[in-house]
Structure formats: structure tokens, C-alpha cells
Amino acid sequence: MNPSVTLPAPAKLNLCLHIVGRRPDGYHELQTAFQLLDYGDELTFSPRSDTDIHLHPAIEGVPLKDNLIWRAAQLLRPRARAYTGVDITLLKRLPMGGGLGGGSSDAATTLLALNQLWDCQYSNKELQTVGLQLGADVPVFVAGHSAWAEGIGEQLVPIELPERWFLVVTPPTPVATGTIFCHKDLTRDTAPITVAAFLERGGKNDCQPLVRELYPEVDKALIWLENFVSNATMSGTGASVFASFESETEAREVQGKTPTDWSSFVARGVNLSPVHDRLFNA
Ligand SMILES: C[C@](O)(CO)[C@H](O)COP(=O)(O)OP(=O)(O)OC[C@H]1O[C@@H](n2ccc(N)nc2=O)[C@H](O)[C@@H]1O
Ligand SMILES: Nc1ncnc2c1ncn2[C@@H]1O[C@H](COP(=O)(O)OP(=O)(O)OP(=O)(O)O)[C@@H](O)[C@H]1O
């Protein structure tokens, strides 16, 4: 690793999200297709001459000890064979509580970067297990490939998806994942399907009807997107909604009409994570 390195922390979309059961500990058993995007946050890691870890800027409303980047660093530190202090600078692009996995991806990029910088010698599979302690969405970002996921999202099978363009629109209504998963009206009994069935026929998002009901802005965003496409879907537990397009031009044309109080971006769906491309394919 170079003295200072800047790495992407890509977003994900859940192309479908089926809830097929609930574990005794309350976590839900899912089937989901994770589509990685070539758009996201960015983290810069600069080794220091002392032993401190500094993270900046702070995220408003998130104490340092709860920041997933900080927590990822603390999990790796005891395993370091070549420990050094590090400045971590975060360029936050992904909306928080947006269903795009921003915090999880920040954590995964931190695990991947510090595993190298500190010579922790974790295999990728071991790093996925470490990451799962931070959140159900972390393993897929550590694994680094678009994937079909089962369990709570940690049993991953890499899949090759067509590299389409996506318009992602986020109304300013953060949705707390825990609130949706705890809700009594959530559909929890979708029959499991095979990955082949998903690749042939697609799927649905079991959280979408409930989130539409609880968060009218998400409902509005889906209705708006449905004016242009037939495949508008919510990612994760929202609040982001998305649609796929054959070309960047088509996606940008619709983006140009997005109401100004909603944030949006256009990105390409990728099979290999941009962070893996940088770290392992250079
Ligand atoms: C909705 C998804 O984003 C789809 O990819 C993920 O399942 C959520 O992943 P995440 O944000 O990393 O979630 P975590 O931080 O692990 O969990 C947040 C809360 O969501 C609930 N949760 C999460 C994942 C899961 N399979 N079942 C759950 O019931 C739990 O109540 C948990 O306390
Ligand atoms: N580095 C971080 N970036 C963003 N959020 C963080 C970070 N560290 C901790 N958090 C906390 O995690 C919560 C969820 O953030 P995140 O951006 O991952 O939401 P999300 O996109 O809805 O995630 P998911 O799709 O995994 O449910 C935030 O509201 C915040 O309190």
C-alpha cells in the first residue's frame, strides 16, 4: 500500500429483497440480489508517525465510537502485525439511511485497506466474518462482487448481472432499517426462490409496501419514477428508489426532471467492486 491511498466505498442496490423467515434472535432471513454500483463514498488512508487513529470529518449525529469506520479499525487493531497510526478522511456522497449501504461500505473499505496497511493477514472470507459483526450488509462489500445473498445477507453467491445504468433518487426522509424490520405489518413469509428463478424473472422488495405506507415521500418518489419506467423499485428498507436503463443518456434524461428537493445520481451497475478493482487488479 502507498503512503497515502484513496479508495472507493461503493453503493449497493437490492434488486429484490425477499423476507423468507425470522431467526430466534429476531434477525430476518432474506434472499436478496446485491447490485454493486460504480458510485459511492471515498476514503483516504494516510499513515501517521504516531499510534493515533484520526477520522475526519465527523458525521453529524454519529458519535465517533458508533462510526462504522472507527469500529472497523478497532476490530482489526488487535490483529495488526505492522501497526501504525492512520488519518482516515471520508468524502461522504451516499445519503445516510438511504438503503444504499453507505455506512456498511465505508466499514468494508476500511477493513480491506487496514488489513493490508497493518498486515493483519486475514483472508477475504475471514474479513467477511469480522465485517458481519458491524452489519448484515458489510460482507458483500468485503467480498467485492455483485451477489445473490441468503441468511441475513452473509451467505453470498457471486452473480454476473448485465452492467446497466441506474438512476437512484433519494427523498429527504431517512428510514431506520431497525424500525422497518421490527414492524408488525412487515411481510415475513415469502416463499424462497432459486437464484436461477430470480435471474429469469426478477423479484420484489417485501419492505416496499410498508415503507410506502409509513413514509409518503418514498411513495411519491416511486409514483414519480413510474411516470418514466415500469421497473421502479425501492432499495433495502429505503428511502432510495431506483430504475434501470440501457444507456447513461436515458438515465440522465430522467434525472434532469427530478424534483429539486430529492437527491439523485446516475451510476453504472458493476459486477466487480471498484475497491477490489483498485486494490487487487492494479
Ligand atoms: C435491508 C438491508 O440493507 C438489505 O441489504 C440489510 O438487510 C440491512 O443491513 P444493515 O443495515 O447492515 O443492518 P444491520 O445494521 O445489521 O441491522 C439493523 C437492524 O435491522 C434488523 N435486521 C437487519 C438485517 C436482517 N437480516 N434482519 C434484521 O432484522 C435488525 O433489527 C437490526 O438491528
Ligand atoms: N460511516 C458511516 N456512514 C454512514 N452512516 C454511519 C456510519 N457509521 C455509522 N453510521 C450509522 O449507520 C446508519 C445507517 O447508515 P447507512 O448510510 O449505512 O444507511 P443505509 O444506506 O440505510 O444502510 P442499509 O442499506 O445498510 O440499511 C446511519 O444512520 C448512522 O447512524
Q: What is the 3-state secondary structure (H, E, C) of the chain?
A: CCCCEEEEEEEEEEEEEEEEEECCCCCEEEEEEEEEEEEEEEEEEEECCCCCEEEECCECCECHHHCHHHHHHHHHHHHCCCCCCEEEEEECCCCCCCCCCHHHHHHHHHHHHHHHHCCCCCCHHHHHHHHHCCCCCHHHHHHCECEEEECCCCEEEECCCCCCEEEEEECCCCCCHHHHHHCCCCCCCCCCCCHHHHHHHCCCECCHHHHHHHCHHHHHHHHHHCCCCCCCEECCCCCCEEEEECCHHHHHHHHCCCCCCCEEEEEEEECECHHHHHHHCC
Tell me whether residue 185 is one of the annotated catalytic residues: no
pLDDT of residue 37: 98
> Strand pairing partners for 234?
241
- For ligand 2, atom 12, the nearest C-alpha belongs to 103
CA of 136 to the centre of ligand 2 (A): 12
pLDDT tens sequence across 61-104 = 999 999 999 999 999 999 999 999 999 999 999 999 999 999 99
Domain definitions of the chain by residue range: 1-282
Residue 3 has a pLDDT of 84
135 Cα–ligand 1 center, Å: 7
Residue 179 CA to ligand 1 centre (angstroms): 10
Asked if 8 and 278 touch (Cβ cutoff 8 Å), the reply is yes
Residue nearest to atom 30 of ligand 1 (CA): 178
Does position 181 have pLDDT exceeding 60, yes or no?
yes
- State if residue 16 touches ligand 1 by the CB under 6 angstroms criterion: no
Domain spanning 1-282, CATH architecture: 2-Layer Sandwich (3.30)
- Residue pair 168/242 in contact by the 8 Å Cβ criterion: yes
Contact 106 CB / ligand 2 (< 6 Å):
yes
- Residue 153 CB–ligand 1 contact under 6 Å: yes
% of the chain residues with pLDDT over 70: 99
pLDDT category, 206, cuts 50, 70, 90?
very high
CA of 249 relative to ligand 2 center, distance in Å: 30
How many angstroms separate the CA atoms of 1 and 31, rounded?
36
Q: Tell me, using a 6 A CB cutoff, whether residue 137 lines ligand 2.
A: yes
Q: For residue 92, indicate whether it is catalytic.
A: no
Cell numbers placing 142: 468485503
pLDDT of 282 over the 90 cut: no
pTM exceeding 0.80: yes
Give the active site residue among 12, 41, 106, 219.
12
Out of 25, 50, 119, 137, pick the active-site residue: 137
Averaged pLDDT for residues 191-220: 97
Instruction: Say whether pLDDT at 1 is over 80.
Output: no
| pLDDT, tens digit (0-9, with 9 covering 90-100), for 23-42 | 999 899 999 999 999 999 99
Q: Model ipTM?
A: 0.95
Q: What pLDDT is stored for residue 281 in this prediction? A: 80
Mean of per-residue pLDDT scores for the chain: 96
Q: For the residues 198-221, what does the mean pLDDT come to?
A: 97
| Residue 114, C-beta contacts closer than 8 angstroms, at least 6 positions apart | 45, 72, 73, 76, 80, 86, 120
pLDDT in tens, 42-55: 999 999 999 999 99
